[in-house]
Amino acid sequence: MTRPRAVVRTSGAAFDRVVDVAGMRRLESTTAPEIDLMHRAGTALAVAVHRRVGPLRGRVIVALVGPGDNGGDALIMARTLARGGAAVVCWASRARSADPLVDAARAAGVRWRVWSGDARPIARDIRGAAAVVDGLLGIGSTPPLRGQVAEMLRALPEVPGQLRLAIDVPSGICGDTGHADPLTFRATGTLATGPIKLGAVLHPGIEYAGAVEALDIGLAPEIAASGAPRIIDAATVRDLAPARPLDGHKGTFGRVLIVGGSAAYRGAPALAALAAQSAGAGVVTVASVEASVGACAAVAPAATFRVLAANTDGCIGASLDAIEALGEPTALLVGPGLSRSPSSDALARDLATDARRGVPTVVDADGLNALAAEPARLGTLGPNAILTPHPGEMRRLLDLAETPRGADMMQATRELAALSGAVVVGKGSPTFVATDNQLFLLARPNPALAAAGSGDVLAGAVAALAAQGLRPPDAARLGVWLHARAGELAADGRAAGIAVERIARKLGPALAETLEQDGAP
């Protein structure tokens, strides 16, 4: 079966939060009685399935039913769909003895089947179904799969183009870590009852989950005050887009100063400059050594340029005073292509620390490595600094024993934000954005973005948004969304071979799309 595209969305009014298993258990224990929550969930699931399947009359829908609460959700969904005219078949991993939910479903016309070890009947039903809904295991299970559930999942035939939906997480995935059994149910979409579950947005879980959508089951007031991460998607960032007044001029839309580049890495500041222009900055200035300035002028000719002194290594040899003499930008970006030398490291650290003066300062690439070399500086940054480390840079900044991934990267992003007081963009899949008291998560995997220069594009976009007046946390959130969406627009369905310059140029269309009423898909 072709792997579905992985994307997470909140459907506007529904949850924009992500919870781990313990968080969901706490939420459940402080809200409605369990049976009420189950009925809300089952009804919401039925509505979501109906929306995807279309007219129900005569359509076959197979529900895979486990012994726990997810199985209960699936039974209520099945009963509701059957009442709406669908031909619903429930396949249970084992009997649910004396269960009123089973009795109610059968009374509504649902056919009830219990797994017996014979793969032929379930395969026959699956092949004739318009949709298959996985309610076998819930968020409390962990791989490996065992017993009847493993046998059932092994027996499921592949049906090209079939709608396959999972409840909360596909069966076989750990709800906390995203670890997955090889037999995990491969969904085209996952329907989260209430908040999205962490295991469905971490790798490899998200690769089985397909398009993850949160369904509102009436719990939003209870979770709004929790510390759960918040989703970044079109619905949650649309209101952040900067205004573009009709009488505006280039000064209205901010001045970005990019300090970076070296003889070894000449093009990185050019990519950042191109991205800053595409993301709406009015004036972009690149301050670099002469070798890099020449390369930048060819890629981003609308930028302005300031040549800085170079040291014998071809790195920037200028001091903080030389940068301050260039005038006051509305946002600063330091690091793209900077390379490492005593003078360029010192300049990067001074500029990062200087963010306390009030100018939003994005620190990327070797600017981060310079900070890692003097970790005491991290505590002096403050909320006007925006750090954009990838996992390797995060390991160096926090002096971690291993490169963080998944949930470990989430925790590291939180830790670095708390340590520095800065906004931290923990790059990767997912990407995390943390302040000292909030965490946001973008789960939109795209291999087209896994290329040298992609981080320079992101840094330029974030700097441009900060230059246009967005608060650093908002510039980071909107920046990572635009970067992801621009990557999708540039890739146009491809996973590789995408010029990074093309991604930078698609930031403008991504921003325009985000401003539209309906937003991006």
Cα 455 to Cα 386: distance, rounded to the nearest angstrom: 13
Q: Which band of pLDDT confidence, cut at 50, 70 and 90, is reported for residue 61?
A: very high
Q: Which band of pLDDT confidence, cut at 50, 70 and 90, is reported for residue 32?
A: low
- Looking at residue 17, its pLDDT comes to 85
Residue type, 41: A
Cα 194 to Cα 488: distance, rounded to the nearest angstrom: 28
3-state secondary structure of 362: strand
Angle CA(61)–CA(63)–CA(66) in degrees, nearest 5?
A: 175
The residue assigned the tokens 């100063």 is 257
Cα 175 to Cα 179: distance, rounded to the nearest angstrom: 8
- Looking at residue 262, its pLDDT comes to 95
Any residues with CB less than 8 A from the CB of 214 and at least 6 apart, and which? 9, 10, 11, 14, 15, 16, 17, 192, 194, 195, 196, 231
Is the separation of the CB atoms in 41 and 193 below 8 Å? yes
More confident residue, 302 or 28: 302
Cα 425 to Cα 440: distance, rounded to the nearest angstrom: 9
Rg (CA), the chain: 25
Cα 487 to Cα 510: distance, rounded to the nearest angstrom: 9
Q: What is the pLDDT of residues 209-225, one digit of tens each?
A: 999 999 988 775 555 55
Query: Distances in Å between the alpha carbon of 145 and those of 74, 153, 264, 333?
Result: 20, 9, 51, 48
Beta bridge partners of 114: 92
Cα 462 to Cα 450: distance, rounded to the nearest angstrom: 18
- Looking at residue 378, its pLDDT comes to 94
Q: Which band of pLDDT confidence, cut at 50, 70 and 90, is reported for residue 24?
A: confident
Q: Which band of pLDDT confidence, cut at 50, 70 and 90, is reported for residue 267?
A: very high
Of the candidate ranges 224-233, 253-262, 400-409, the one whose mean pLDDT is the lowest:
224-233
Query: Distances in Å between the alpha carbon of 15 and those of 216, 218, 483?
Result: 6, 9, 23
**CB-based burial of residue 307 (10 Å sphere; 0-12 exposed, 13-18 middle, 19+ buried)?**
middle
pLDDT higher than 70, residue 342: yes
- Looking at residue 2, its pLDDT comes to 39
Q: Phi/psi of residue 329, each to 5°?
A: -75, 170
Beta bridge partners of 134: 64, 166
pLDDT higher than 90, residue 376: yes
The residue assigned the tokens 């220069």 is 453
Going by C-alpha positions, the residue among 339, 416, 344 that lies closest to residue 377 is 416
More confident residue, 135 or 319: 135
In the chain, count of helices (H) and strands (E)? Answer: 20, 20
Q: What is the pLDDT of residues 179-198, one digit of tens each?
A: 999 999 999 999 999 889 99
pLDDT higher than 50, residue 4: no
Cβ atoms within 10 Å, residue 404: 22
Of the candidate ranges 331-345, 394-408, 473-487, 507-521, the one whose mean pLDDT is the lowest:
507-521
pLDDT higher than 80, residue 429: yes
Model pTM?
A: 0.91
More confident residue, 105 or 9: 105
Is the separation of the CB atoms in 131 and 61 below 8 Å? yes
Residue type, 91: W
Rounded to the nearest 10 degrees, the angle between the axes of helix 147-155 and helix 119-127 is 50
Cα 429 to Cα 36: distance, rounded to the nearest angstrom: 35
Q: What is the mean pLDDT of the chain?
A: 91
Any residues with CB less than 8 A from the CB of 383 and at least 6 apart, and which? 421, 422, 423, 435, 436, 472
- Looking at residue 516, its pLDDT comes to 77
Q: What is the DSSP string of 39-69?
A: HHHHHHHHHHHHHHH---TT-EEEEEE-SSH
Is the separation of the CB atoms in 105 and 141 below 8 Å? no
Structure tokens that stand for 90 in this block? 């429930």
Q: Which of 20-24, 482-486, 488-492 has the highest mean pLDDT?
A: 482-486
Cα 308 to Cα 245: distance, rounded to the nearest angstrom: 35
Q: Phi/psi of residue 192, each to 5°?
A: -85, 125
Cα 251 to Cα 158: distance, rounded to the nearest angstrom: 57
Q: Across residues 142-170, what is the average pLDDT?
A: 97
Angle CA(400)–CA(402)–CA(403) in degrees, nearest 5?
A: 95
Q: State the sign of the Cα–Cα–Cα–Cα dihedral 57, 62, 66, 69.
A: negative
Largest Cα–Cα separation, the chain: 83
b/e burial code for range 199-208 (CB count within 10 A of at least 16 → b): bbbbbebbbb
